[in-house]
Structure 1
């Protein structure tokens, strides 16, 4: 069951979808789904409903709210069209890790307002993957599980790269890596693994051989049903174990 809310942050109003179990069961466990680059849309809501039906209150916030009205974008064509590609890149650049980390305090409060007052998880896809890990580091008392699927730049040279925060993460972490992904090459995977080990983080990094960046989300052109089902199995197991 989905309904829309507005969340007041330090910088304005972020729209968000709240998704609860279809059977109406009450739960205090919460999950924030950090979107990919194409914005909140039906594909993410459907994924959120599946997570909710496993016993969670799910929040899907619009991370691009500072950029004003937009799309959502078509995941199959947006980067292939010059106008939408330019707009997307500017919105991604304007939505820094720090902005999302700061917003996440309001997201956590919004979940509590919807009944999710217990442990929560952060889950991210594409650009959301790094944000899920960063939120886990920023709010270790609340975030008990964090997952990234085909997340990009998780261990880059940037000053705000999530791997730099590993020693602040107390959550159980799962990272699902696309088999071929220029935004997260093998050297970054190795760097992330070393940072998580050094930080004492309970974690797993799994390579989805043959999967392309975006494989888990149904409206992507590279969507792979078997790979997506595998991702759901890993994610729901993580949530059950950690929350």
Structure 2
């Protein structure tokens, strides 16, 4: 059961979708799904439904709300068309890690208002992967599970790289890495692993050999059904064990 809501944040109003399980138990845990670069759309809502069907309330917020109204981008063509590529990159650059992290409190409040109880989980795809790990660090008393799938720049040289916050994370962390991914090369994977180990974080970093950046999301040109099913299995196991 999906319905649209509006979330008041420090910087305005973010639209979001709430997806609830059809057969709701007395206690339902919450999950924030951090979108990929192409914005909230049916492909992400369908993925949220899979998570909800396992007994969770899922929130899919629009991270681009500060940029004004827009239509979701076509994941297959957005970066090959010059006009949409320019617009998309501009929106991505304007949606900084810090701004998204600041929104986290409002997202958690929205989950609670929707009926979620107890600790929550965060999961992110592509650019959302870094947001999920950052949220785990910024809200350690609430976030008990964090997952990134084909997330980019998780351990870059940037000041806001999530690996720099590893010692603040209390959640169990799972990172699913695309086999070949220029946005998260092997040296970043090693740097992230070292940071998580040094920070005492319970974590798993798994390499999806043969998968390309974006493999888990159904409307991506590189979508891989077998890899996506594997990602759902890992994610739902994490949620069951950590929450």
Match of 2:212 in 1: 212
Moved over 4 A (4+): none
SS at match of 1:84: helix
Q: 2: distance between equivalents of 1:158 and 1:56? A: 34
Give the drift of 1:71. Answer: 1.6
Judge conservation of contact 1:211–1:224 (CA < 8 Å) in 2.
yes
Cα deviation digits, residues 124-164 of structure 1 (max 9, x gap): 00000000000000000000000000000000000000000
Judge conservation of contact 2:32–2:121 (CA < 8 Å) in 1.
yes
Residues paired across the two proteins, number? 243
Q: 2: distance between equivalents of 1:198 and 1:71? A: 42
Q: 2: distance between equivalents of 1:165 and 1:203? A: 14
- Written as runs of structure 1 = structure 2, the 5 A alignment for 1:1-243 is 1-243=1-243
Give the drift of 1:22. Answer: 2.0
Q: 1: distance between equivalents of 2:172 and 2:94? A: 29
Judge conservation of contact 1:27–1:56 (CA < 8 Å) in 2.
no
Superposition TM-score, scaled by structure 2 size: 0.99
SS at match of 1:73: coil
**Any stretches of 5+ residues in structure 1 without a counterpart?**
none
Give the drift of 1:28. Answer: 2.9
Give the drift of 1:26. Answer: 4.3
Judge conservation of contact 2:24–2:55 (CA < 8 Å) in 1.
no
Q: Which moved more, 1:110-119 or 1:55-64?
A: 110-119
Q: 1: distance between equivalents of 2:157 and 2:61? A: 27
